[in-house]
Amino acid sequence: MKRIVILTLAIVFVGFTSYAQEQYKPVKGNFTTEMQLSLLSINAKIDVNNESINYSSGPLSMQGLRFRYFVSDKLALRATLGIDFNNSQAEIEIDETRTEWLNPGYYKLVETGESIEKTSSKTFSIAPGIEYHFGDWERMSLYVGCELFWGKTTSSSDLDITTDALMYYQYNNDDEYFGMYHTEISVKSENCYAGFNNYYDYYDIRQNAPMFYGVNLLLGMDFYVYKNLYLGAEFGIGYTYNTFLKGSYDEKYIRVITPNGGTPDINEDTFEKKLEDKIFSSNFSVRYNPMIRIGWRF
C-alpha cells in the first residue's frame, strides 16, 4: 500500500514538473503563422499635407496573414500579406420634381427612375519586417520591431441611371404640359470614381487607386493560451507615401425629348476621358488596431 502511494505521488510530481516546464514561447528555429481579425478598427491619422486629423472605424474584418521565423530566441523575421476584395451595389429609386433649363426656356420635370451603381476594388500588400522579443514571463512575450510595406489598389465601377419625366413649360407661374423627357446615362470607370449630383452633371471625379509605400515602427505582445496557441495585439507609428494610378472612364448619354403630339428630339453622345494628372500624397499616422491576432507556433 505504501509503495502504491509513493508511486502515485511520484507520477503526479513528474507530471506537474513536466507541465510547469512546458515550452510556450518560440525559440530559435520556430515558425509561427497567424491571422488578424479586427473587431473594431480605429484609425487616427495625422495628414502632414492638409494638417488635418481624421478618425475612421470599421466592423469585423480580416486584416491579413502574418508569418514569422525565429532566427534566435529573441529575434524574429516577419512578413505580412494583405489581400482585400470589396464589392458593393447601390440601387436608388428616383422620384422628384425639379426645374431645368432646356432651350428655349425653363421646364418643370416630374421625374421617376432608378440609379444602379456597382463598385469593386482589390488591394494587395506585403510588409516584411523584424521583431525583437523581450521579457522573462512564461506565457507572455513583448516585442518591438520595424516593417517596410508596399501595396496597390485597383478599382472599377459601373453606373447606370435611367429616368422618365413629365415636362411642364413654365410661363407666368403657370405649368403647361409639354411632353416626355427620357434620359439614360451609363458610366464605366477604371481606377477612378465619377459621381453625379441630382442633375446628372459631374460633381466629383477623383482617382481612387493608390500605390503606397511606407515604414512602421511597432510595439506588440503575444500571450500563449496553450503551448502552441497565442493571442496578441499590436500598435504602430508609421509614414506612408501614396501615388495614384491613372484613371479613365467612358460615358454614354442619351436624351429624348418628345413634345406633346410632336416628333422625338434625340441627343446621343459618347466620350472617353483619361485622367493624366498624377496625384501624390503622404501622411504620418498613429494607428491602434484592437485586433484578435490568433497564431500557432510550429
Q: Do the Cβ atoms of 37 and 62 come closer than 8 Å?
A: yes
Integer Cα distance of 209 and 248 in angstroms: 11
**Is the pLDDT confidence value at 15 over 60?**
no
Q: Do the Cβ atoms of 144 and 75 come closer than 8 Å?
A: no
Give me the pLDDT at residue 130, please.
96
Mean pLDDT of 167-196: 85
User: What is the grid cell recorded at 67?
Assistant: 508569418
Q: Phi/psi of residue 197, each to 5°? A: -95, -170
Could you tell me the sign of the dihedral formed by the alpha carbons of 3, 5, 8, 9, in that order? negative
Give me the pLDDT at residue 79, please.
92
Give me the pLDDT at residue 24, please.
79
pLDDT tens digit sequence for 108-164? 999 999 999 898 988 888 999 999 999 888 889 999 999 998 998 899 999 899 999
Q: Taking all residues of the chain, what is their mean pLDDT, rounded to a whole number?
A: 78
In the chain, what are the domain boundaries?
Answer: 27-297
Q: Which residues have a Cβ under 8 Å from the Cβ of 161 and sit 6 or more positions away? A: 94, 113, 114, 115, 116, 183, 184, 185, 186, 196, 200
Q: What is the pTM of this model?
A: 0.68
Closest by CA to 103, choosing from 206, 286, 252, 257, is 257
Give me the pLDDT at residue 85, please.
83
pLDDT tens digit sequence for 247-266? 888 888 899 999 998 899 99
High-pLDDT (> 70) share of the chain, %: 76
Could you tell me the sign of the dihedral formed by the alpha carbons of 236, 240, 245, 249, in that order? positive
Integer Cα distance of 255 and 238 in angstroms: 50
Closest by CA to 66, choosing from 80, 85, 56, is 80
Identify the residue with better confidence: 2 or 256: 256
High-pLDDT (> 90) share of the chain, %: 22
**Is the pLDDT confidence value at 268 over 70?**
yes
**Is the pLDDT confidence value at 285 over 70?**
no
